[in-house]
Amino acid sequence: MPEQHVAFTLDPLVPVASLPAMIRPETTALVLVDLQVDFISPEGRMGQFGMDFTPINAALENIKRLATAARKAGVLLVWPRVITSPETDMAALKTLAQRKGRGEGSIATCRRDSKGADYYGLRPEPGDVEIEKTLFSSFHGTELDDRLKARGIETLIMTGFTTDCCVDCTAREAFHRNYNVFIATDSCAAYTPALHLGALNGLAKNVALLTDTQSVMAGWQPV
């Protein structure tokens, strides 16, 4: 069935003038979720399914700009990445795939030591925080919360892929763990506009404030 196009109205973005006090570099981290071959490269699994990477590519270019600005401002960069193996595949995940009529091979994404698990488009640098995860949330079963708190981080600016899955799950759990959450709306993307905008609406309603790449970069400029 063709995707139905629904008109979405997002919450207003945070006024640029208000951002500097909210995203102070010393207490803020830029989170770059799942910049990996299997998710955002035409050569990865999603590429093999014929996904339209136009919104992915646009968001990736904005992420590169944000990463450069973050480094210049002294903001911590955090890189959650999916790394799986047959041993880490949950029974519930297998059952879900089966009930959807998919084989177990459908969940074999970002396997350890595979090309699909590698970074794509941008890579961490010394001093960044790297996190390996097996599921959607970057906090689930990882040391992310401890590492952020050890650095005095209070605020997260979320970017990455996909808006409706791993960005969404990470943002919600961050809020539950008492972080202030911002979503850089044009530095994340999903495989369809409806999924992207729907996820942003849900996050804005419940756990996050919306901003964009240019506003965040302006917020990190010296006063």
Other Cβ atoms closer than 10 A to 150: 10
User: Can 133 be counted among the known catalytic residues?
Assistant: yes
Supply φ then ψ for residue 199, to 5 degrees: -65, -45
Q: Which of 165, 166, 169, 188 is catalytic?
A: 166
User: Can 165 be counted among the known catalytic residues?
Assistant: no
Phi-psi region of 108 (alpha: psi -120 to 50; beta: other; left: phi over 0): beta
Q: Which of 34, 38, 164, 186 is catalytic?
A: 34
Cα–Cα distance measured from residue 197 to residue 100, given in angstroms and rounded to the nearest whole number = 24
Q: Which amino acid is at 108?
A: A
Q: Which amino acid is at 16?
A: V
Q: Which of 38, 110, 133, 164 is catalytic?
A: 133
Contacts of 85 (CB under 8 A, 6+ apart): 111, 112
183, burial (CB in 10 Å: exposed 0-12, middle 13-18, buried 19+): buried
User: Can 89 be counted among the known catalytic residues?
Assistant: no
Radius of gyration for the chain, computed over Cα atoms and rounded to the nearest angstrom: 17
User: Is residue 43 helix, strand or coil?
Assistant: coil
Enumerate the active-site residues.
34, 133, 166
